[in-house]
Amino acid sequence: MTGTTPAVPSRSDAVRNRRLLLDAAAKTFAERGVEVSIGEIAQRAGVGKGTVFRHFSSKEELLAAIMLGMLDELVGTGTALLAEGDPGRALHAFMTAGVEIFVRDRAFCEVIGRPSLQNPQVRDAIDRLCDVAEALTARAREQGVVRPDVTGTDVALLLGGIQRTAESLLSAEPQAWRRYLELAFDGITTHTGRTLPHPPPRHLPLAAPAADHGR
Amino acid sequence: MTGTTPAVPSRSDAVRNRRLLLDAAAKTFAERGVEVSIGEIAQRAGVGKGTVFRHFSSKEELLAAIMLGMLDELVGTGTALLAEGDPGRALHAFMTAGVEIFVRDRAFCEVIGRPSLQNPQVRDAIDRLCDVAEALTARAREQGVVRPDVTGTDVALLLGGIQRTAESLLSAEPQAWRRYLELAFDGITTHTGRTLPHPPPRHLPLAAPAADHGR
Amino acid sequence: MTGTTPAVPSRSDAVRNRRLLLDAAAKTFAERGVEVSIGEIAQRAGVGKGTVFRHFSSKEELLAAIMLGMLDELVGTGTALLAEGDPGRALHAFMTAGVEIFVRDRAFCEVIGRPSLQNPQVRDAIDRLCDVAEALTARAREQGVVRPDVTGTDVALLLGGIQRTAESLLSAEPQAWRRYLELAFDGITTHTGRTLPHPPPRHLPLAAPAADHGR
Amino acid sequence: MTGTTPAVPSRSDAVRNRRLLLDAAAKTFAERGVEVSIGEIAQRAGVGKGTVFRHFSSKEELLAAIMLGMLDELVGTGTALLAEGDPGRALHAFMTAGVEIFVRDRAFCEVIGRPSLQNPQVRDAIDRLCDVAEALTARAREQGVVRPDVTGTDVALLLGGIQRTAESLLSAEPQAWRRYLELAFDGITTHTGRTLPHPPPRHLPLAAPAADHGR
DNA sequence: GATGAATGAGAATTCATTCAT
DNA sequence: GATGAATGAATTCTCATTCAT
């Protein structure tokens, strides 16, 4: 209903294959990035290439399905953390979980927030992510833990930025991202009195292709 | 003298074509990223494909030449800023210049700090960049503007992270990166009393291939 | 099972295409030598270029498959001739069959015994060829038909030499090679009392690249 | 007069460059075969690529000039050997000198007698070579040293065949060709009573392209 | 439904030859 | 005359996607 591909197949072997496929694709995309060939994913899943295209009408859509899963997992984590008593601690835990996803998954880094990923379901999931990030941020802001001009979207955007900062260190120092998470956390929690120079974004617009770079 | 490719050819037509080529490549890489084909760059420069390979023995080398120019420009800016009286202001200006390069150039973002870029000259330029970043950072640190546990390499790494944070906003709001630059600057200038959780990196190791992601 | 490429695909269309491909490649290599492009072979087989690479992972491998077939055919002929009562006649028939392959196939001439052909299966087939040549030669030697200092490897090497001797005559006189086969056969069967000046080779070492010529 | 390229340039630097070029081309072709690029030869000669084409209107023509020199050297050797008292010894020495050229020069092997080399001057030189080979062979034949049905052209053709026989051994055993020279020499000197099955060729026809294989 | 075979556009790179300097 | 810059056709190989089995 949300595309050309049935969300859930009826035959039991089809259900099983879809599961195998998602698992194999998740692992392969995570390790090798979006450039992996469909053939390799199919092989790793133990199915034929045609089966991939039966379940997902394009590579793009398969990738989107994987992203969706990760985004929703993070949304779930954030939602659960809303129950945590200490708003600052909750926000920190949420950011930790978010950066961990980026650190763990190469394809996720490569496409999240990039114009190449136009899938509407993913956009919706990103909106949900911003919402839960905003909820967590609002609590912390109200308690004075976070500076008043920082939003949930800022927080969501920072996740990828933190991973990117640490990226070249990670193979030698897999935990290096924690350093930059802390730096960023200090940046948003501290109130220096200065106001941030640019108004906070409301949505992540997934810019039109080829427009996110170059003047 | 700096490799297999003469840095500057002697004949006037070659000089002119090299210039056209570098300009076209810089623009094309900046706008479209490293995936652009040599054919497109050649076309844009108004020369044949073969001419590209006469001047640069591979696509990789052409890309490295472009990167080198940008890195050295930034190193020059940083060096000049060492003469600025206010260390904090100098560091801020340096970071602004750095992020601007990332924001302007898609290919730069795609390869800096990634294992795919193994060119030794580029590595040297990155070392120089870290050196000047360290010099600027040390001055600011000594004056108490920057927290004692932040290094020049941290600062260099942050440049890409700041761009990445703003990336998806830039097509709609080209100046949005300034917001995240400020956030990051606050993060490094403020001393909350907490110590950063991971020891500061000394070098940018240009991580071993295929190891910067995945578990 | 004999490498990365399945020796025989299971689907009938694949079997058919593989057959078309091998036939087209064999003919084209035979007529035009190793320099023919994959595109031409594909065209001649009536398939797309990609299909060639599906069946054989590189041009090199396709060529090796063709060579292997011819070598094994000759090994089979030699083995059958071991049952022939007259050892001299059997050896002669083997050499005839061998030179005929060289005469028929340009690519075979171009790569057999050359360092460019490193395929281990082909090397094994050449070893088998030397073995059967040695078996045939030994029988003839024991009967005094062949001089005592001539080996099976000599015989194997002579096959290419005989074709090469006649090569420039063949387009005008397709049977001219028989003349030089006879000359060579007389050379190995006669015992003049003189000893050959160089010790007989045991193996065909497939010389290290770039070392088979030049001082 | 024999082409578009002046046989001998008049300016002294041109004379010198032609010499440098021929020397460099001879060495390079000998070591690396006909596939070497003109650029490499030019570099080795210390001249520009354009200079090569000023002296020789195509790569083909440069190659022919080199071949010509080697053929004429061998013709000279053969002519001198006509003065040797022992006809068998003279023929043997001639063949030794001939095979040595093939062994020493990779490009020579690759093109002599092949349809790709259509140069008329080279054809004439090959005719001269056959003539001197015939003169040497005739003397030996008349003395009963060589069988009556072997001609000078047979001898000329055998030179390449002998090299080809030994080819794959030469990197490990640089003198291995002597073994096959002896075998061939025994073949032509012995008279077994059998008659060679194919009539002797008179000329080396340099077959039309693409016709020397196939069928 | 599953399979994997076929396709063919597209990429980087090489090099003989031409021609402006 | 000498130079070396420019050219562009040609090559091998990859891979998302389609479709016959």
* Residue C208: how many other CB atoms lie within 10 Å: 10
Measured CA to CA, the distance from residue D212 to residue C32 in angstroms comes to 9
Tell me the nearest-neighbour CA distance from A146 into chain B, angstroms: 12
With respect to residue C80, please indicate whether it lies within any of the assigned structural domains: yes
Q: Return the ∠ at Cα C196 (arms to C192 and C198), rounded to 5°.
A: 175
Show the domain range for B140: 60-189
Q: Do D205 and C168 touch (CB under 8 A)?
A: yes
**Do both B68 and B43 map to the same domain?**
no
**Do both B24 and B68 map to the same domain?**
no
What local confidence, expressed as pLDDT, does residue C208 receive? 37
| CA-based nearest residue to C147, from C198, C85, C200, C191 | C191
CA B50 to C1' F8 (Å) is: 7
| CA-based nearest residue to D87, from D133, D119, D22 | D133
Residue D212 in this model has a pLDDT that exceeds 50:
no
Q: Which of residues 39-98 of B touch A (CB under 8 A)?
A: none
Q: Tokens 């073969």 correspond to what residue?
A: B50
Q: Which of residues 108-127 of B touch A (CB under 8 A)?
A: 109, 113-115
Label residue C9 by pLDDT band (50, 70, 90). Answer: confident
What residues in A contact B161, CB-CB < 8 Å? 161-162, 164-166, 180
Residue B164 in this model has a pLDDT that exceeds 50:
yes
Q: Do D198 and C214 touch (CB under 8 A)?
A: no
What local confidence, expressed as pLDDT, does residue C207 receive? 35
With respect to residue D25, please indicate whether it lies within any of the assigned structural domains: yes
What residues in A contact B189, CB-CB < 8 Å? 192
What residues in C contact D104, CB-CB < 8 Å? 213-215
Measured CA to CA, the distance from residue D161 to residue C60 in angstroms comes to 26
**Do both D52 and D63 map to the same domain?**
no
User: Out of A33, A161, A205, whose CB is closest to B213?
Assistant: A33
In this complex, the residue with its CA at the shortest distance from the C1' of nucleotide F10 is C37
Measured CA to CA, the distance from residue A157 to residue B166 in angstroms comes to 7
What local confidence, expressed as pLDDT, does residue C171 receive? 86
| 3+ Cβ–Cβ pairs closer than 8 Å linking D and C | yes
**Do both D79 and D119 map to the same domain?**
yes
Measured CA to CA, the distance from residue B51 to residue B57 in angstroms comes to 10
Instruction: Kindly list the distances between the CA atom of residue D23 and the CA atoms of D28, D60, D79, D121, in Å, as whole numbers in the listed order.
Output: 9, 16, 25, 19
**Do both C32 and C66 map to the same domain?**
no
**Do both A39 and A68 map to the same domain?**
no
Label residue D8 by pLDDT band (50, 70, 90). Answer: low
| CA-based nearest residue to A55, from A3, A5, A119 | A5
**CATH number of the domain bearing residue A206:** 1.10.357.10
**CATH number of the domain bearing residue C24:** 1.10.10.60
Tell me the nearest-neighbour CA distance from B38 into chain A, angstroms: 18
Are C67 and C108 contacting, i.e. CB atoms less than 8 angstroms apart?
yes
Measured CA to CA, the distance from residue A141 to residue A150 in angstroms comes to 8
Helices D152-166 and D87-104, axial angle in degrees (round to 10):
40
Number of domains composing chain A: 2
Q: Tokens 């051994």 correspond to what residue?
A: D169
- The list of chain A residues with pLDDT below 70 reads 1-11, 190-215
B191: nearest CA partner in chain A:
A186
**Do both B43 and B149 map to the same domain?**
no
Q: Which positions of strand E lie within 7 Å of protein CB atoms? A: 1-21
Mean pLDDT value of segment B49-63: 94
Q: Percent helix, strand, coil in chain D (nearest 5)?
A: 65, 0, 35
With respect to residue B127, please indicate whether it lies within any of the assigned structural domains: yes
Residue C99 in this model has a pLDDT that exceeds 80:
yes
Nucleotide with the nearest C1' to D51 CA: F2
Q: In which element (H, E) is residue A139 found?
A: helix A120-142
Label residue C97 by pLDDT band (50, 70, 90). Answer: very high
- Which one of A186, A189, A202 makes the best mutation probe of the B interface by having the most chain B beta carbons within 10 Å? A186
**Do both D74 and D51 map to the same domain?**
no
**Where are the alpha helices (H) located in B82-206, listed in sequence order?**
87-104, 106-111, 120-142, 152-166, 177-189
**Do both C94 and C119 map to the same domain?**
yes
**Do both C49 and C132 map to the same domain?**
no
Label residue B213 by pLDDT band (50, 70, 90). Answer: very low
**Do both C137 and C47 map to the same domain?**
no
With respect to residue C215, please indicate whether it lies within any of the assigned structural domains: no
Amino acid at C129: L
Measured CA to CA, the distance from residue A175 to residue A192 in angstroms comes to 28
What local confidence, expressed as pLDDT, does residue C112 receive? 92
What residues in B contact A151, CB-CB < 8 Å? none
* C135 DSSP 8-state letter: H
Q: Do D169 and C207 touch (CB under 8 A)?
A: yes
| CA-based nearest residue to B158, from B209, B208, B211, B102 | B102
* D167 DSSP 8-state letter: G
**Do both B139 and B180 map to the same domain?**
yes
What local confidence, expressed as pLDDT, does residue A17 receive? 85
Are C70 and C50 contacting, i.e. CB atoms less than 8 angstroms apart?
no
Measured CA to CA, the distance from residue B121 to residue B16 in angstroms comes to 24
Q: Do B192 and A192 touch (CB under 8 A)?
A: no
Measured CA to CA, the distance from residue C102 to residue C98 in angstroms comes to 7
What local confidence, expressed as pLDDT, does residue D195 receive? 60
Q: Do D179 and C187 touch (CB under 8 A)?
A: no
Please check whether residue A166 touches B, CB under 8 A. yes
Nucleotide with the nearest C1' to D62 CA: E16
Which of B40, B57, B74 finishes a domain?
A: B57
Token pair listed for B136: 């600027």
- Which one of A170, A171, A175, A215 makes the best mutation probe of the B interface by having the most chain B beta carbons within 10 Å? A171
